[in-house]
Structure 1
Amino acid sequence: MNVLKFGGSSVANATTIENVINIIKEQSKTKSLYVVVSAMGGVTDLLLQAGTEASTNNENYKKTLAEIEKRHLDAVKNLIPVISQSAIISKVKSELNVLESLCEGVFLLSELSEKTAAVISSFGELLSSYIIAEAAKVKGLDIGLKDSRDLIVKTINSKVAIDYIETNHRIKAFAKDNKNKISLFPGFVARTQNGEPTTLGRGGSDFTAAILAAAIDAEELQIWTDVSGMYTANPKLVKQAKPVDHISYQEAMELSHFGAKVIYPPTIHPVLDRNIPILIKNTFAPEDKGTLITRNVSDRKTPVTGISHIDNITIISLEGSGMVGIPGFSKRLFEALFLENINVILITQASSEHSICLAVEASDAKKAKTILDSTFEFEISKRKLEPVKIENDNAIVALVGDNMYHHQGLSGKMFSTLGKNNVNIRAIAQGASEKNISVIIEKKDIKKALNTLHEQFFEVKTKQLNLFVTGVGNVGSKLLSQLEQQKIYLKDKLRLKIRIVGLSNSKKMFFDENGIDLHEWQEKLNKGKKANAQDFFNQAKEMNLRNSIFVDNTANPDIAKIYKHYLAESMAVVTCNKIACADEYSNYEELQDLSRKFNVSFLYETNVGAGLPIIDTLNNLIASGDNIHKIQAVLSGSLNFVFNNYKEGVTFYDIVKQAQQEGYTEPDPKIDLSGVDVARKILILARESGRIMELNDIENESFLPQESLETTSVKDFFDSLKKHESHFNYILNEAHKKDCRLKYVAQYENGKAKVGLQHIPAEHPFYNLEGSDNIVLFFTDRYPEQPLIVKGAGAGADVTASGIFADIIRIGKK
């Protein structure tokens, strides 16, 4: 004998009921069956809604009852042949008339008692079981309908406590006399010991099935629902969640208690003692394996079985010296809550006994505070205790698994994983059995926490990065192309899945939590909303995704000012925008402090040498204990390009224009040619070397005429270059006279820095620097005479984009 239970989604309408009948028919070929059914999906909510509306003198209850009637009559008309409908419709309408009378009484009295609410809510199961039984008979099944209220007896003054002696006696007596191959029962409904109608609570149909299975010692209890078993996490919140083939009773109880909606928590207890397997199956995909629940699971190697959570949790805290060393304090606390039927979900207490923290359902919070303030009124009045504190909008997340026992480092891995993603843990609880580690977090962080933990404990070491990218010009568009081009390589070789979830230019911004298709990003962005740097941050914060990275491909000072907000929300920042790191030292220091405080990456390798590892090399030297004495560098790929190509027969204007068009300069070339850009770069290197320095501390020997420096537009600047061609020609000729080449050099030595155009002789390492290449010489304790040299392409959209790409990958590999 097997017991099958079908939930509300499985019997939601005529089509799904047909599916259920086919499953029953197939299984009844080899076994006798007890079948328990829930109300049609959503009907219990409608019934309670009608009762509530009636109790508040809201005549809308009649419309709600009409909707309930329509759903059931539609099912009858679609399941039963016309010739057989009359009697069944008459029976259904008769039951609905009783329901209407009950609601009318509630309306007149303006009161909905607990007993009346139980009676009203029971109509869903009573109607669905009757309709399904009649539909099954039409299909030729040998089926009989039995009212569960005649069998299941609940103890008085308890939500789910069953009088098992009387209940088992009644079920066995029924089984002895039952002649049907299939017996159908309404779930959820029962009677008290004095015969009054009651229910087993929301989700009680599972419990009904378990009680029946235990009483008849069934071979298997099957719970048929709308998912293919118990998942590693809630699949509605974690797309990568997958069904677990086999779990233990203990694991199932832990997961169901902590929010796994597949099975009602009390369901497991009746069958556990009898060692009856529970099989979770999908009504809509019966071929799926599902989840088998038994006493022991011996073939699983992973420590964590699943991650579950409970929404709408309130933290209740008691603090004060009046608790310390006082015997019986906890007894008074829990007894007060027990007497008010308030369930405590989680408890944690400091070893100092100075504070105790409880988690209760949000609906019980107000009542709990009132009761505890009253219970400890004397201690509070004497200031031995603080008034009870309640904190709303929290949730519990739990790691569950039998194999967690004595598995070192799980707690630390859980906490560090959450911490890296700015998920604050308010309280922690772990039993000595080590089968459950529970933490309280803010409700807004649930989705991020579940996805982060699932990625850590269940996915094949594939880390998902969520990028918010601003700036899609030369550099930004190249970055997007590189990300798309390397997508498969990153996933297969580096186990990284990089998604663009936010995109912005100066006019528009667009977001998609599921990832923006990089083949269509331009069309998507054009349809986005008006761009605003602060709004872009606000949206990124609201999306609250794990492993979030803000990527700035602009030279916009307003965007640079917002980096600190991203870092404070534990969102990494990758930027080629030099303004933030070359701003006032206090701002630079603040960004570094935020990066350390929130353990989040702030990477700006491209600030100095595009794709060259200049900052990384410098940081490695310092971290390994070396000391920097001098830095000499050609740090402007654009200036190097200009002076490498400026020669007789070509005007300075033409070369600068070419550099701009090929993407070597900033949109405003004056930033490069004035030396400001190079000054910012050597400033950043000086600061990375440990020097406190401001931009105006750097000596800038500009080669531009004063008129060029004072221009206010790009056009005027280019016009001034044409006008002063003789000036630039003179500079070129002076270098040729000395057999030197012109290089714009940055130097940091003895705590001072300067930038300027220099004549470089043939024996100098800078002399043969070609194209747009950069070069940096590090003179240190370890490299006093022969410097450590970093050399390579230092300008251009492609290499800058590749540098940003490298920083993103560095974060992903952390």
Structure 2
Amino acid sequence: MPFSTGSEGSTPTAPSPEPLLSNSSDDSVPWVIQKYGGTSVGKSLASIGAIVESYIPNSKVAVVCSARSGTTKALGTTNLLLQASREALTPAPNAGAISGSNTEPASGSATPFYPKRVGSGFFNNGSGPSMTPADGPMGMSSSISSLKDMKLSRSSSPSPFQPSVSSPSSSGFLPVSTPGINGYSNTNGAYNSDLPAFHQTVDQLKRDHLEAARNAVKDPSLLQELNEEIERDLDRLRSFLSAAQIIDEISPRSQDSIIGIGERLACKIVAASLRDRGIDSELVSLENIVDSAIASGEESAQASASHDQGVGQLDQSFYDRLSARLGERLRACGNRVPVITGYFGVVPGSLLSQIGRGYTDLCAALCAVGVQASELQVWKEVDGIFTADPRKVPTAKLVPIITPDEAAELTYYGSEVIHPFTMEQVIRAKIPIRIKNVENPTGEGTIIYPAQSEDMEEGASGPSAPGVGNKDVNEVVKIIDSIKMPTAVTIKDEIIVINIHSNRKTISHGFLARIFGTLDKTGVVVDLISTSEVHVSMALQDFIKKERLDRLVRDLEKIGHITVSKDMAILSLVGRQMRHMVGIAGKMFSTLADGNVNIEMISQGASEINISCVINGKDGVKALNLIHQACLTVPVAAGNGGKCVMWQVRYASH
């Protein structure tokens, strides 16, 4: 940009920095929480920036990110972090021969770091030195100080990596001295084969994220700062894994902390990308958001463990306290757009054990509840929820609106929508969920309506559904209900069926008790079950390891005769109107019979919105198309020649 000049003879002056786009300071402006998955963060950063920019004028936007996905599932950030943690516990080929020396520790530090207490020594639990905001998002004393004089070309405002308010340190690790970036290869550039394999995995992570940073950020000073943040995080991960190798243990909490690095790296790239685009962003790293006040329910959770098969579960009060704290943290960002790590720290009982890998969706939901957002947006790589998998059923159509119960059933039985527990958090707060396509932001998408069916029938007002103009959701629901159609059909592959026939040495209730006790002991989750007094059939996800299935079968053979059917699939027809549709089950099963598809098991839940059956896996795609054509199409008036159209087309015509 050229220099501006004043009157003749005056000294040229530099132009004022271009102001950054930011959230409104008006408290009446509603919040919108946007959650982006790993694939979106990995491939669609430009689209994310455009979406955030388009929402800022009318909403306060907060962004929640998952860890970046790779070109394949195995190369995804989370999978690589899990791989590195496993490799840290695998001895090096020549233990002790590190870089040609028998005395230097693997981490390169002068003396190895030993935690004071196994399982928690790597965390700042109050016994270690206190951290200050100047320590930066990784809690490292040098994280920001060396960059404090760096100026951004877009604005003189603080770095997106520096908190705008005083907040607890977000470090998952205590400081450990680290070697230089090239300390893990020989002089010829090849990897030292004597080193543990996790060094190569960490270097793979570093290459991936540095390349992503180069593609996302054009401002040289901002890119330099981002690169240093990435290298610092991963060098400390390397030291953490070296320490874990010394003590030969990675506890569940340590595993959580390792996993959380993926979200932190992704959010740093997204925050820098938004700043580079001219959006005033702030990294909000949540590693230490769960403090003693929030986790005060831990004792009660552990006390109830004996009533919950030995696993103390976090109750709703924990999530209520956490959502309130998240709301406070987001509001503290002021006008800056928060970019929030989907990983929210070490929770009682381990994050992965309590919640699983869907914790980023849950974090977004809790943020939405904490700020009472107008809606939670889940941005994916698909246009929304379809009547069937469009990759398998060419005639599948987009579902514009769906109830939470229907979305939960579809998630359980094969369609990746949003985890039911995550959905429950926002639905109970009456916050709608919109599912949109990051590459098609103007598309209709699908809305999960927060009210229960009785609220709809009583005429409660609600948000407008996407793609239906100014129509009230209740009017849309009435249109859908008038058609009396199922909502969608889905299939879950890689299912096995275990049949158990009683050996009649136990009475019936003892027979069932022993079966369920065995399943609980081995931690097996059953998708469908059909029972009689002396016979039980169970459909469950096939095991990755054959040894686990063999062990389960051996335990069950003590109860009765066992047969196992592999390569099966669960076909599920879902719809809130199905409880009022006389004959829909008969139509479903007769359609399969006409298509020569054999049924192994049949099940219908108490909610009566789902009818499921188990079929041979090789018939899955054929069965999907048969049921979609027979049960999810409606005839048009005779004047249209008796053709069939999808109910969404009829809906769209209103």
Please state how far the C-alpha of 1:245 moved relative to its aligned partner: 0.3
CA change 1:271–1:331 in 2 (3 A) is farther
Counterparts of 1:242 and 1:424, CA distance in 2: 27
Matched-pair contact (CA < 8 Å) for 1:4–1:35: yes
Counterparts of 1:172 and 1:348, CA distance in 2: 45
> 1:172-321 maps to which residues of 2 (within 5 A)?
172-175=327-330, 177-193=332-348, 200-294=355-449, 295=451, 296=453, 297-300=477-480, 301-320=483-502
Please state how far the C-alpha of 1:366 moved relative to its aligned partner: 5.7
- 2:495 aligns to what SS in structure 1? strand
Aligned-partner residue type, residue 261 of structure 1: E
Aligned-partner residue type, residue 38 of structure 2: G
Deviation per CA, 1:154-208, whole angstroms, max 9, x where unpaired? Answer: 8675688662243134224324544234222111443213898988422332121
Is 1:453 paired with 2:630? no
Matched-pair contact (CA < 8 Å) for 1:160–1:200: no
CA change 1:368–1:218 in 2 (3 A) is farther
TM-score (normalizing by structure 1): 0.52
- 2:287 aligns to what SS in structure 1? helix
Is 1:72 paired with 2:216? no
Aligned-partner residue type, residue 142 of structure 1: D
Please state how far the C-alpha of 1:44 moved relative to its aligned partner: 1.9
Please state how far the C-alpha of 1:404 moved relative to its aligned partner: 0.5
Paired residue for 1:49? Answer: 83
Please state how far the C-alpha of 1:131 moved relative to its aligned partner: 1.4
Matched-pair contact (CA < 8 Å) for 1:188–1:201: no
Q: Which moved more, 1:124-133 or 1:56-65?
A: 56-65
Which of 595, 613, 617 aligns to 1:421? It is 595
Structure 2: 5+ residue runs without aligned partners? 1-30, 70-75, 93-195, 303-310, 454-476, 645-654
Counterparts of 1:44 and 1:449, CA distance in 2: 35
> 1:426-437 maps to which residues of 2 (within 5 A)?
426-437=600-611
Is 1:361 paired with 2:541? yes
Q: Counting strand residues as a fraction of each chain, which structure ranks higher?
A: 1
Counterparts of 1:197 and 1:449, CA distance in 2: 35
Please state how far the C-alpha of 1:113 moved relative to its aligned partner: 5.2
Is 1:38 paired with 2:66? yes
Counterparts of 1:102 and 1:444, CA distance in 2: 46
CA change 1:29–1:192 in 2 (3 A) is same
Please state how far the C-alpha of 1:268 moved relative to its aligned partner: 0.9
Aligned-partner residue type, residue 403 of structure 1: Q
Which of 262, 279, 299 aligns to 1:141? It is 279
CA change 1:52–1:441 in 2 (3 A) is farther
CA change 1:197–1:360 in 2 (3 A) is closer
Matched-pair contact (CA < 8 Å) for 1:430–1:438: yes
Please state how far the C-alpha of 1:103 moved relative to its aligned partner: 4.3
Which of 80, 88, 99 aligns to 2:226? It is 88
Counterparts of 2:541 and 2:565, CA distance in 1: 11
Paired residue for 2:571? Answer: 397
Which of 603, 608, 612 aligns to 1:438? It is 612
Q: Which moved more, 1:358-367 or 1:421-430?
A: 358-367
- 1:190 aligns to what SS in structure 2? coil
> 1:109-128 maps to which residues of 2 (within 5 A)?
114-128=252-266
Rg: which structure is higher? 1
Matched-pair contact (CA < 8 Å) for 1:233–1:306: yes
Matched-pair contact (CA < 8 Å) for 1:25–1:141: yes
Paired residue for 1:535? Answer: none
CA change 1:412–1:114 in 2 (3 A) is same
Paired residue for 1:19? Answer: 47
- 1:148 aligns to what SS in structure 2? coil
Deviation per CA, 1:268-302, whole angstroms, max 9, x where unpaired? Answer: 11012112111000000001000011134332124
Aligned-partner residue type, residue 298 of structure 1: K
Deviation per CA, 1:542-595, whole angstroms, max 9, x where unpaired? Answer: xxxxxxxxxxxxxxxxxxxxxxxxxxxxxxxxxxxxxxxxxxxxxxxxxxxxxx
Paired residue for 2:268? Answer: 130
Deviation per CA, 1:219-277, whole angstroms, max 9, x where unpaired? Answer: 11110000010111112222222210000011111111112113233221101211211
Please state how far the C-alpha of 1:47 moved relative to its aligned partner: 2.6
Deviation per CA, 1:480-535, whole angstroms, max 9, x where unpaired? Answer: xxxxxxxxxxxx97969xxxxxxxxxxxxxxxxxxxxxxxxxxxxxxxxxxxxxxx
Matched-pair contact (CA < 8 Å) for 1:337–1:368: no
> 1:502-651 maps to which residues of 2 (within 5 A)?
none
Please state how far the C-alpha of 1:400 moved relative to its aligned partner: 0.5
- 2:34 aligns to what SS in structure 1? strand
- 2:498 aligns to what SS in structure 1? strand
Matched-pair contact (CA < 8 Å) for 2:491–2:572: yes
Matched-pair contact (CA < 8 Å) for 1:232–1:242: yes
- 2:212 aligns to what SS in structure 1? helix
Matched-pair contact (CA < 8 Å) for 2:282–2:337: yes
- 2:509 aligns to what SS in structure 1? coil
- 2:378 aligns to what SS in structure 1? strand
- 1:35 aligns to what SS in structure 2? strand
Please state how far the C-alpha of 1:100 moved relative to its aligned partner: 2.6
Please state how far the C-alpha of 1:336 moved relative to its aligned partner: 3.7
Q: Which moved more, 1:164-173 or 1:217-226?
A: 164-173
Counterparts of 2:548 and 2:270, CA distance in 1: 42
Deviation per CA, 1:637-674, whole angstroms, max 9, x where unpaired? Answer: xxxxxxxxxxxxxxxxxxxxxxxxxxxxxxxxxxxxxx
Please state how far the C-alpha of 1:370 moved relative to its aligned partner: 3.8
Please state how far the C-alpha of 1:407 moved relative to its aligned partner: 0.7
TM-score (normalizing by structure 2): 0.63
User: What is the RMSD computed on CA atoms of the aligned residues?
Assistant: 3.3
Please state how far the C-alpha of 1:405 moved relative to its aligned partner: 0.8
Counterparts of 2:605 and 2:352, CA distance in 1: 38
Please state how far the C-alpha of 1:107 moved relative to its aligned partner: 6.3
CA change 1:96–1:223 in 2 (3 A) is same
Aligned-partner residue type, residue 40 of structure 2: S
Deviation per CA, 1:596-630, whole angstroms, max 9, x where unpaired? Answer: xxxxxxxxxxxxxxxxxxxxxxxxxxxxxxxxxxx
Matched-pair contact (CA < 8 Å) for 2:256–2:350: no
Aligned-partner residue type, residue 174 of structure 1: R
Is 1:322 paired with 2:460? no
Equivalent pairs: percent with the same residue? 30
- 1:242 aligns to what SS in structure 2? coil
Q: Counting helix residues as a fraction of each chain, which structure ranks higher?
A: 1
Counterparts of 2:314 and 2:564, CA distance in 1: 28
Aligned-partner residue type, residue 46 of structure 1: L
CA change 1:114–1:189 in 2 (3 A) is same
CA change 1:391–1:102 in 2 (3 A) is farther
Matched-pair contact (CA < 8 Å) for 1:34–1:184: yes
Matched-pair contact (CA < 8 Å) for 2:572–2:612: yes
- 1:218 aligns to what SS in structure 2? coil
Deviation per CA, 1:450-473, whole angstroms, max 9, x where unpaired? Answer: 1222222234679xxxxxxxxxxx
Counterparts of 1:31 and 1:343, CA distance in 2: 41
Aligned-partner residue type, residue 541 of structure 2: E
Which of 319, 325, 328 aligns to 1:170? It is 325
Aligned-partner residue type, residue 39 of structure 2: S
Counterparts of 1:221 and 1:7, CA distance in 2: 14
Matched-pair contact (CA < 8 Å) for 2:63–2:340: yes
Counterparts of 1:268 and 1:240, CA distance in 2: 28
Count of residues paired in the alignment = 457
CA change 1:54–1:459 in 2 (3 A) is farther
Please state how far the C-alpha of 1:390 moved relative to its aligned partner: 3.1
Deviation per CA, 1:34-86, whole angstroms, max 9, x where unpaired? Answer: 21111112322333334445555686654443332222112212222113222
Counterparts of 2:511 and 2:325, CA distance in 1: 44
Counterparts of 1:195 and 1:61, CA distance in 2: 23
Matched-pair contact (CA < 8 Å) for 1:369–1:389: no
